[in-house]
Amino acid sequence: MDGIIQFEKVHFKYPEDQRESLRDVSLTIREGSFTAVLGRNGSGKSTLAKHMNAILLPTEGRVLVAGIDTADAPRLLELRRQVGMVFQNPDNQIVANVVEDDVAFAPENLGLPPEEIRRRVDAALEQVGMLEYRLHAPHLLSGGQKQRVAIAGVIAMEPRIIVLDEPTAMLDPQGRREVLSTVLRLRREKGMTVVLVTHHMDECIPADRLLVLSEGRIAADGTPEEIFSQDALLRDLGLDLPETARLLRDLRQAGLELPGGALDLEGCAQAVAAVLN
Amino acid sequence: MLKDITLGQFFPGDTIVHRLDPRTKILLVLLYIVALFLAVGWLGYGLSVLALVGGMALSKITPRNLFKGLKPLIFIISLTAAINLFYTGGTPILPGWIVTWEGIDRALKMVLRIVLLVTGTFLLTYTTSPMALTDGLELLMKPLKKVRFPVHEMTIMMSMALRFIPTLIEETDRIISAQRARGADFETGGLIRRAKALLPILVPLIVSAFNRAYDLATAMESRCYHGGEGRTRMKQLKLKRVDFAALALGAAYMTAAVLLRNYGI
Amino acid sequence: MAEIQVEDLRHVYSPGTPFERTAIEAVNLALPQGQFVGVIGHTGSGKSTFIQHLNALLLPSGGRVLSAGEDINRDKKSRRDIKWKVGLVFQYPEYQLFAETVYEDIAFGPRNMGLSVEQVDERVREAAGFVGVSELFERSPLELSGGQKRRIAVAGVIAMRPEVLVLDEPTAGLDPEGCAQIMANIRAYREKTGATVIIVSHDMDGAAALTERLLVFDKGRLVMDGPPEEIFSQPGRLTAMGLDVPRPTAIALALEARGVQLQGPVYTHEQLTNAILRAYRDKEGGRTPC
């Protein structure tokens, strides 16, 4: 079956670099799935994300998104309206001085009629829980709120895919929770395809697929449970285990027989409680 | 510190002034500025003061907020006052003094002119969201498109600049603090030394502004921005009855200003 | 060696304006030389305002900050001198790099101190050694990776040889490897010089594992002050303030909700693993006689 995002032997090199940032990446992402992309700084994970809406084009190979070749210039807008991109720095992606004007930016670019824009803006702000802030000035919001406005700004395009490039890297724990729960809700309620680029192990746990990038290659690909059971591999890639996975591993090594593995907090506690009670 | 700068700040509200079409407000402010420069006598200045007070009352912007914006201009205002005070010929207020009655008159008028000019334009930016402001400008300047003037590009640049003013001010404050923590001294030394002391602030600020611009361009493109072509607006501007009334009032005001000038009062 | 004392500190932003806001008040504490202190609190809790008083970047609206018994704000000179004693690394310090070369950037602080060329050189080399960037001296800081830039910025403060090193979120935005590296650099500096280290952090796991004392700010007040085991034994209070608890503590709480009571303080991975294993052995042990 064809995926909604397809990478075919993709190579990419920035003109100023010696080395390739992506090397022979082939990948299929199913519609409606939640894929987390993990890797250390400079592993190519952001470069990968930027290929998903034609901000970057492969130097070799090709990328198909919703059936459109990202190199197909005349179809660029058609492609981009299907892929909402959220970036790391919330300040640098908000374009207007009033929240609702910012959310209206993309639908305005799409040339929609004013009533339709209004409807989408209100719906998008509602979905991220920021409707009551619609007349606020973005620079006075908290980091988590700004990032939710940025998410509203892309879902107002009514995209099928949302790609988040380290959306929580600059946020405090509360902001991080706000953004993650918003993303999970969008997926649950709207069936959106989600790609989350991150270096926080914990954020990968709710994903149904985890890709680990290293030096421009896909170094591991599987469910979070599968990948977080490969301790040595992760260490080689410069990554940590989430605390839950570390605990389950150490307890198993100490001889406890634990039922197999959910990695979220509740699942982990469940497993441990089962042998202790 | 820098946070006190209110340039480009917008105080949301729901007064009649807030509801006026931005085009109306821009035109009224233009009329106000012209009238201000036409004023010669105290009556003429009085008319401008009246206009400002009226706008202030209708928009519920407090004098305190309005005058706070003058803070960064205190130096220029004092300089203007001093020059006019000391370099205007005429009758000395006391025999042998350099200060003349004419100088006092002129200094007061100049100060009043600057204050009225700045606060009047603040009234516009305080009551009009930057988005509406640039939309208004874009529509007003639409005829210029015929002569290939890049109206859309100019107005979007302006609205981005307004959007990033608070962000960059915050950033400047942070960089200044960080360099002061490393012992940077911006207060002592001659002019050249002080100018040199600014490098540790300016370089990071410019680097970061470029990074932000790059990020912003990427984010805008990702949100399907492709110039003004085929772009629609959520908030449609429509002149209402109140706008026409306001413009009529503006015209009357202008007539009064011209008359007062003719009589030299 | 300096002990820092904070007496009844209060700070009000934009006093006398409609934007007036009390950021911190009634803060009292003493920081003995050599302590490793964590400062935690919600965004806007006043913790950033607090640390900017330690080197006189902000002037108190009320109260005093003393270094070795003397008010650091007594005159212009003391306000300047305290900057060498208390080095402050801001959040995302890589955004403050400005010089043409790494060497020049690190030398900025020592030069401002008015040291001789040789002394500056010695300090730059020493500081670069602590963070492992000695081989980058001739490079432009702008072309380096994020992690490298961060370490250079830290070196720029370390080069002043502060007796108290204060860092605001030194690991923010770094990947796990970068975090570990910078924390190791900071530990190395502390071990070598005996400096006091104060770290503002959102990362509770790190705060729990590294520090010997935690200051918790909430709504402008210092509400908790004690060793990590004491602070994290009151997870309810922390979550009520919107703060995280360390992940091992969170797991212990989830176990508690399932009727498993663990013994002793649990805020690091090792404590958690051991407590669970102990509970397991006790249970098995209890079963053997049957």
- Say whether pLDDT at C44 is over 90: no
The answer to whether B222 contacts A85, with C-beta atoms less than 8 Å apart, is yes
The answer to whether C276 contacts A240, with C-beta atoms less than 8 Å apart, is no
- Residue A111 structural domain: 83-158
Write out chain B residues lying below 8 Å of C18, CB-based.
64-65
Measure in Å the smallest separation between the Cα of A123 and chain B Cα atoms. 14
- Say whether pLDDT at C288 is over 70: no
Rounded Cα distance between C25 and B121, Å, is: 39
Measure in Å the smallest separation between the Cα of B171 and chain A Cα atoms. 11
Chain A's closest residue to C174, CA to CA, is A41
Rounded Cα distance between A166 and A86, Å, is: 8
Look at A113-117, B20-24, C68-72, C264-268 and tell me which has the smallest mean pLDDT.
Answer: C264-268
Write out chain B residues lying below 8 Å of A125, CB-based.
none
Q: Is residue A119 part of a domain?
A: yes
Per the CB < 8 A criterion, the answer to whether C227 and C212 are in contact is: yes
pLDDT digit string (tens) for B112-162?
Answer: 999 999 999 989 988 987 778 888 888 898 888 888 888 888 888 888 888
Mean pLDDT confidence for A207-230: 93
Name the pLDDT band for C117 (thresholds 50, 70, 90).
very high
Best probe of the B interface among C95, C157, C164, by most B CBs < 10 A, is C95
Q: Is residue A109 part of a domain?
A: yes
Measure in Å the smallest separation between the Cα of C163 and chain B Cα atoms. 14
Q: Is residue A141 part of a domain?
A: yes
Write out chain A residues lying below 8 Å of C268, CB-based.
none
Question: How large is the ipTM?
Answer: 0.91
The structural domain count of chain A equals 1
Cβ of residue A247 closer than 8 Å to a chain C Cβ: yes
Closest CA to B28 of B46, B48, B57, B6: B48
The answer to whether C83 contacts B199, with C-beta atoms less than 8 Å apart, is no
Which single residue is written with the structure tokens 């004693």?
Answer: C85
**Chain C (58-117) residues lying within 8 Å, Cβ to Cβ, of chain A:** none
Structure tokens at C211: 């520090």
pLDDT digit string (tens) for C67-102?
Answer: 989 999 999 899 999 999 999 999 999 888 999 999
Interface of A with B (CB under 8 A): 50, 53, 55, 77, 80-81, 83-85, 87, 89, 91-98, 100-101, 104-114, 117-118, 121, 135, 137, 139, 153-154, 157
DSSP three-state, residue C7:
strand
Measure in Å the smallest separation between the Cα of A249 and chain C Cα atoms. 10
Rounded Cα distance between C53 and C220, Å, is: 13
Measure in Å the smallest separation between the Cα of B58 and chain A Cα atoms. 21
Name the pLDDT band for C2 (thresholds 50, 70, 90).
low
Structure tokens at C16: 């006398």
Size of interface A-C (CB pairs under 8 A): 96
Percent of chain B past pLDDT 70, that is, above it, reads 97
pLDDT digit string (tens) for A37-70?
Answer: 999 888 999 999 999 999 999 999 999 999 999 9
Write out chain B residues lying below 8 Å of A97, CB-based.
8, 10, 129-131, 159, 162-163
Rounded Cα distance between A82 and A154, Å, is: 9
The answer to whether C248 contacts A243, with C-beta atoms less than 8 Å apart, is yes
Rounded Cα distance between C284 and B9, Å, is: 68
The closest CB to that of C145, out of A42, A143, A175, belongs to A42
pLDDT digit string (tens) for B62-116?
Answer: 888 888 878 888 888 899 888 888 888 888 878 888 888 888 998 999 999 999 9
Rounded Cα distance between A239 and B223, Å, is: 32
Which single residue is written with the structure tokens 């900025």?
Answer: C108
Write out chain B residues lying below 8 Å of A110, CB-based.
224
The answer to whether C96 contacts B199, with C-beta atoms less than 8 Å apart, is no
Q: Helix C247-257 and helix C269-287: axis angle, to 10°?
A: 30
Q: Which residue has the higher pLDDT, B185 or A163?
A: A163
Name the pLDDT band for C202 (thresholds 50, 70, 90).
confident
Write out chain B residues lying below 8 Å of C142, CB-based.
207
pLDDT digit string (tens) for C232-256?
Answer: 988 889 988 888 889 999 999 999 9
Q: Which chains touch A (3 or more CB pairs under 8 A)?
A: B, C
> DSSP letter string over C216-260?
EEETTEEEEEE-HHHHTT-HHHHHHTT----HHHHHHHHHHHTT-
Rounded Cα distance between A64 and A72, Å, is: 10
Mean pLDDT of chain A: 92
Percent of chain B past pLDDT 90, that is, above it, reads 40
Q: Is residue A51 part of a domain?
A: no
Task: Write down the pTM of the prediction.
Answer: 0.86
Q: Is residue A103 part of a domain?
A: yes
Work out the number of other CB atoms within 10 angstroms of the CB of residue A189.
9
Write out chain A residues lying below 8 Å of C43, CB-based.
142-143, 172, 174-175
Size of interface A-B (CB pairs under 8 A): 108
What is the number of alpha carbons within 13 Å of residue A178 lying toward its C-beta? 20
Q: Is residue A44 part of a domain?
A: no
Measured in residues, chain B has a length of 265
pLDDT digit string (tens) for C147-193?
Answer: 899 999 999 999 999 999 999 999 988 888 888 899 999 999 999 99
Q: Is residue A137 part of a domain?
A: yes
Write out chain B residues lying below 8 Å of C99, CB-based.
200, 203
Q: Which chains touch B (3 or more CB pairs under 8 A)?
A: A, C
Phi, then psi, of C191 in degrees rounded to 5: -65, -40
Phi, then psi, of B109 in degrees rounded to 5: -65, -40
Q: Is residue A170 part of a domain?
A: no
